[in-house]
A = this chain, B = another copy of it.
Amino acid sequence: MSNYTKTTVLSEASRTELHDVLNLTGAEVSINNMPAGTAVPFVHYHKHNEEIYGIISGKGTITLDGETIELNAGDWLRVAPEAKRQIAAAADSPISFICIQAKAGSLEGFSMTDGVV
**Chain B residues with CB below 8 A from A6, complex form:** 69, 75-78
How many copies of this protein are present in the complex? 2
Neighbour of A24 across the interface among B54, B82, B107, CB < 8 A = B107
A115 vs B73: C-alpha distance in the bound complex, in angstroms? Answer: 25
Give the chain B neighbours of A102 by CB distance below 8 A: 24, 26-27, 102, 106-107
A45 CB, min distance to chain B CBs, angstroms: 6
Q: Considering the complex, which residues of chain A in the window 6-44 have a beta carbon less than 8 Å from any beta carbon of chain B?
A: 6-11, 17-19, 22-29, 31, 42-44
Which B residues touch A83, using CB under 8 A?
3-4
Residues of chain B with a CB closer than 8 A to A43's CB:
117
Min CB gap A33→B, angstroms: 12
Interface residues of A (CB under 8 A from B): 3-11, 17-19, 22-29, 31, 42-50, 52, 54, 56, 64-65, 69, 72-80, 82-83, 98, 100-111, 114-117
